[in-house]
Amino acid sequence: MVTLNDYLFASGLLFAIGFAGVLLRRNVIIIFMALELMLNAANLSLIGFSRYNVRDGLPDYNGQVLVFFIITVAAAEVTVGLAIIVALFRAKQTTHVEDMNTLKF
Amino acid sequence: MSPILFWIFVAMMLFFGGMVVLNRNPVASALSLVVSFLALAALYVSLDAYFIGVIQILVYAGAVMVLFLFIIMLLDLKAESRRHVNFPAVCGGFVVIILFIKVLSDVCYGFDGGNAKFPPIAQGPQGDVWHVGMVLFQQYNVALQVVGTLILVATIGVVILSKRELK
């Protein structure tokens, strides 16, 4: 039997993987992909709770609408972020975070 | 969904999620991310969220990942060469992640309500998309307009960012 806790645990593990990616990798594009993994982990737990909270025989659709908004905003974020990465690459010829230290104090 | 299928998809999602982080080649990372998102869409479908599952495949595994691959190939990134590792940072990262997983398992398996079976649902003849649409357009209409404006602003921002010279 698959329970809500299994979904939450899977979602937490996915979040941990994304978090590890952000902390350990030094390539901006990989860091960006790890961010997407973390967003999707949050989405999975939202859908799990939406399915768990059944009222009148229907799942809680507020959670699914929130996931819809998260996906939309994430898509907008990806386009802007990748444009910034392309602009940075044009200026510095690198995607390595340690070479992008213009703002470093 | 049968438990075997559930654990297969969870294993697929986590394995390919791990490959995103571990691969040295950015193209391999991006393709692993696609497979991870497909498994995630299967999990959404297993939770009776068909609309979100379809959106996940269309928007994430389709549009967003094509954008990622396009940028990786445009920038012509080679597999990352090994540099010196910042040892304290890597250790700190692992400690934080292991503590996070420990706390997560404690919280999850101490939450008794989550060990119950999922209640059965009856969506009726309308199906999933109808219900999501009713909630989206009746209760969250203003939010939907705001998100539309956000996408417009993002589009204009991207055009300005990618102009070669800024005046």
A 8-47 near B (Cβ less than 8 A): 8-10, 12-21, 23-27, 29-30, 32-34, 36-37, 40, 43-44, 47
Contacts of residue A88, Cβ cutoff 8 Å, sequence gap at least 6: A28, A95, A100
pLDDT of residue A26: 84
pLDDT of residue B166: 59
Contacts of B46 in chain A (CB under 8 A): 2
- Indicate the length of chain B as a whole number: 167
% residues pLDDT > 90 (chain A):
51
CB atoms within 10 A of CB A42: 16
* Lookup: tokens for A43: 């989405």
Please name the member of A18, A47, A80 whose beta carbon is closest to the beta carbon of B157: A80
Architecture of domain B3-121: Up-down Bundle (1.20)
pLDDT tens for A3-53 read 888 898 899 999 999 998 998 888 899 999 999 999 999 999 999 999 998
pLDDT, averaged across chain A: 89
How large is the ipTM?
Answer: 0.91
pLDDT of residue B83: 67
Of A44, A6, A17, A3, nearest in space to B18 by CA: A17
Spatial contact of B33 and A33, defined as CB atoms under 8 Å apart = yes
Three-state secondary structure call for residue B76? coil
pLDDT of residue B148: 94
pLDDT of residue B149: 95
List the domain boundaries for chain B.
3-121, 124-167
* Lookup: tokens for B144: 């939907």
* Lookup: tokens for A56: 């009148």
| pLDDT less than 70: residues of chain B | 1, 79-83, 165-167
Tell me the angle at which helices B65-75 and A28-52 cross, rounded to the nearest 10 degrees.
170
Please state, in angstroms and as integers, the Cα–Cα distance from residue A28 to each residue in B36, B37, B96, B126, B165, following that order.
Answer: 20, 20, 21, 44, 23
pLDDT tens for B58-107 read 998 889 999 999 999 888 877 666 667 778 878 888 888 888 888 888 88
Higher pLDDT, A77 or B125: A77
* Alpha carbon distance A60, B67 (integer Å): 32
Q: Is the CATH number 3.30.565.10 carried by domain A4-99?
A: no
pTM assigned to the model: 0.89
